A and B are shown apart, each in its own frame.
Chain A
């Protein structure tokens, strides 16, 4: 069957080859994500068209659809995409390995934090421009803290004590993602703060004592003081709980700040919402700071000159400033020093960003091609730990088995032992 299918395809496609090649100069195709920065680009594109004389055909898609579409187009080698928004941690490794990104030799990357750049370049030549960063923070309810006479926790020990004091039938002491694979990114900073990593030099190390301690702590915290049913909760479920005033503390990415202080979306007054650095662990204070979105030129593009021009414009400082003013946490360092921006952006965001940019770790998940499967494996450990309130007797054995599985995935992709 497969043979027939392939031969039909080959026959058909060779018949159709003559009809191909619809690339034109001075016209590019751009795929954007359903993301506030994508929206911003959409409204600004007419301006770019006017000053450059390049016509831009753009399309904007939800992130999952975007990845599916890019993968299909690139894998069949018949893509007409020139420039696209991309998620470096989710798809970067695979796209780069397949040679789908165009190397960016001439781009000036001096305005980006060093730890952020590590995912934009494999080895020497960067292949994408970071657009948006996010980092892990602690959101908390100022009013509840005040009523209970509590200070913002600075260490994991204090965090647990605070969660215990604030926990009641009506309000959960603390929330963080508990839903398996979705929780892996939020667990990451806990692992770093315990001195562990998911993957070190291409080898899975989340079965080492440091990481196990972190998973136990996370499970104890959420299993004891978390909302009911936390093992089926991702940010989609926790944010509404926080917005409805059912959660006293919440550790998650900085990207949600705008929504939880927006009076149209939140029931609690904005003045009662606090934002702070993620408390430090026994070994370190190193929250993740990741490039959640970047922009890249397709290696298959037939209009590279125009595409690079668009890339320069779309990642320019001017647009980054505009992004900051619409509450998007941009990757460029200089915009965080712009007085005009500082006036408009919440000081809590500026302070937590400065902490993360200095001390943070640039990954929030196992950075590998089979990232989805690896997240499933670690996700099972998280659920086991939460269900047993961190006291699971089988956790270490489970972790060893999962790490072996992830190592197999790394070996399959030829990434095992690679830095």
Chain B
């Protein structure tokens, strides 16, 4: 690496500070608003110094019972991602090793089609089956989000693992299934973590499917934020506090696994 001169360094860090300010500004605004009263939120010029209140968070977890929605979102996201791994990992392996491009494209198609086109048929099917307002309907619909991500990330990841490894195992008498289970999967940690993180976050944030397929019992977080939006009245403090509470797990998850995510995303593509 070429050593930078001091003015260059300064410029570099100024740029870093500037860009992070721009990127973080909405988040900081949200965070500070979540501790403000309604009058402080609408104050102009904005109040930088204010007496913080926890009232908004009390509303989120007290009056609105967001814990219930947290559990719903976690169950739906967790099961959808888990089942997608069970189906998606072998599928990705097969696509990678037997170069099934058409199959891969077909799975991608499910992701490319606008989600709203699935809603009507799903609604008919799930309501006739009496599955409305159950986890089953939500988990199945969220698998449409998670499964293509798992398949696409993992198939390019498997491409980066040398075929020779399984071949030598199979020469020694292992079946392909065993080689997949005992050799390939243990080597795929970063890829799996990447696909889990991304698909979980997409499921966590999904609005459209949950809106139509869930009801009071299985309502998920993104829908519940709207509990603070009433006719001709928006409780901004409540919305902000709820948004912070919803973002927290997603941010935490990303921070913990960030290293793997970057590795997993680049691994398949640029492995020399």
Question: Does A292 lie within 8 Å of B129, measured CB to CB?
Answer: no
- Is A267 touching B128 in the complex (CB atoms < 8 A)? no
Is B231 in contact with A9, judged by CB distance below 8 angstroms?
Answer: no
Number of B interface residues in the complex (CB < 8 A): 31
Please, what's the 1-or-0 string for B190-208, where 1 marks a CB less than 8 Å from any CB in chain A? 0000000000000000000
- Stretch in A43-51, A61-69, A372-380, A385-393 touching the partner: A61-69
Q: Which residues of B contact A193 (CB under 8 A)?
A: none
Judging by beta carbons under 8 Å apart, are A292 and B231 in contact?
A: yes
B211 CB contacts on chain A under 8 angstroms: 65, 68-69
Chain A residue at minimal CB-CB distance from B133: A59
Compute how far the CA of A244 lies from the CA of B229 in the bound complex, rounded to whole angstroms: 21
Q: How far is the CB of B206 from chain A (nearest CB, A)?
A: 14
Residues of A within 8 A of B220 (CB): none
The answer to whether the Cβ of B227 comes within 8 Å of any Cβ in the partner chain is yes
Task: Kindly report which residue of chain B lies nearest to residue A75, judged by CB atoms.
Answer: B120
* A62-B229, A264-B37 known; A20+B125 contact, CB < 8 A: no
Q: Which of A62, A73, A241, A253 contacts B226 (CB 8 A)?
A: A62
Is B230 interfacial (CB-CB < 8 Å)?
A: yes
Among A16, A72, A246, point to the contact of B44 (Cβ < 8 A): A246
Q: B233 an interface residue at 8 Å Cβ cutoff?
A: yes
* Number of A residues, CB within 8 Å of B: 47
Chain B residues with CB under 8 A of A256: 232
- Residues from chain A with a CB closer than 8 A to the CB of B43 are 244, 267
Q: Does B123 contact A (CB under 8 A)?
A: yes
**How far does the Cβ of A234 sit from chain B's closest Cβ, in whole Å?**
11
Contact B231 A16 (CB under 8 A): no
Residues B128 and A78 in contact, CB atoms below 8 Å apart: yes
* Residue numbers in A under 8 Å from B120 (CB-CB): 72, 75-76
Whether A224 sits at the interface, judged by CB under 8 Å, is no
Is chain B's binding surface mostly helix, strand, loop or mixed?
Answer: helix
Kindly state the separation between the CA atoms of A132 and B190 in the bound complex, as whole angstroms: 57
Q: Name B216-230 residues within 8 Å CB distance of A.
A: 216, 223, 226-227, 229-230
Stretch from A29-37, A160-168, A396-404 forming part of the interface with B: A29-37
Say whether B44 contacts A241, CB under 8 Å. yes
B119 interface residue, CB < 8 Å from A? yes
Q: Enumerate chain B residues within 8 angstroms of A325, measured Cβ to Cβ.
A: none
Interface string of B115-130 (1 = CB under 8 A from A): 0000111011101111
Q: Is the Cβ of A68 less than 8 Å from the Cβ of B125?
A: no
Q: Does B212 contact A (CB under 8 A)?
A: yes
Determine the chain B residues whose CB is within 8 A of the CB of A57 once the complex forms: 216
B87 within 8 A of A: no
Given the interface pairs A20-B130, A22-B130, the reply to whether A65 lies near B125 with Cβ below 8 Å is no
- Give chain A nearest CB distance to B37 CB in angstroms: 7
CA distance A256 to B234 in the complex (A): 11
Interface contact A5-B121, CB-CB below 8 Å: yes
Q: Is B174 an interface residue (CB 8 A)?
A: no
Q: Does B215 touch A at the CB level, under 8 Å? A: yes
Closest chain B residue to A258 by CB distance? B233
Q: Answer yes or no: A12 CB below 8 A from chain B CBs.
A: yes
Chain B residues with CB below 8 A from A236, complex form: 234
Docked-complex contact A69 and B231, CB < 8 angstroms: no
**How distant is A364 from chain B, measured CB to nearest CB, in Å?**
13
Interface membership of A299, Cβ < 8 A: no
Whether B226 contacts A65 by the Cβ 8 Å rule is yes
Kindly provide the distance from the CB of A74 to the nearest chain B CB, expressed in whole angstroms.
Answer: 11
Residue of A nearest to B109 (CB): A1
B residues near A266, Cβ cutoff 8 Å: 39
Q: A59 and B216 in contact (CB under 8 A), knowing A244-B44, A266-B39? A: yes
Roughly how many angstroms separate A243 CA and B234 CA in the complex, as a whole number?
Answer: 14
Selected from B39, B42, B121, the residue in CB contact (under 8 A) with A9 is B121
In the complex, chain B residues whose CB is within 8 Å of the CB of A293: 231
Q: In whole Å, how far is A298's beta carbon from the nearest beta carbon of chain B?
A: 14
CB-based contact A12/B232 at 8 Å: no
User: Cα distance A241–B216 when bound, in Å?
Assistant: 35
Considering the chains assembled together, what is the distance between the CA atoms of A73 and B233 in angstroms?
Answer: 27
What are 21 A-B contacts defined by CB distance under 8 Å? A8-B121, A9-B125, A12-B124, A22-B130, A36-B230, A61-B226, A62-B229, A63-B231, A65-B211, A68-B211, A69-B212, A72-B212, A79-B127, A80-B127, A240-B41, A244-B42, A255-B231, A255-B232, A264-B37, A264-B38, A293-B231
Known: A17-B128, A72-B212. 20 other contacts (CB 8 A): A9-B124, A12-B125, A20-B129, A33-B231, A34-B231, A62-B226, A62-B227, A62-B230, A72-B120, A72-B123, A73-B127, A78-B128, A240-B41, A243-B39, A243-B42, A244-B42, A256-B232, A259-B232, A265-B42, A267-B42
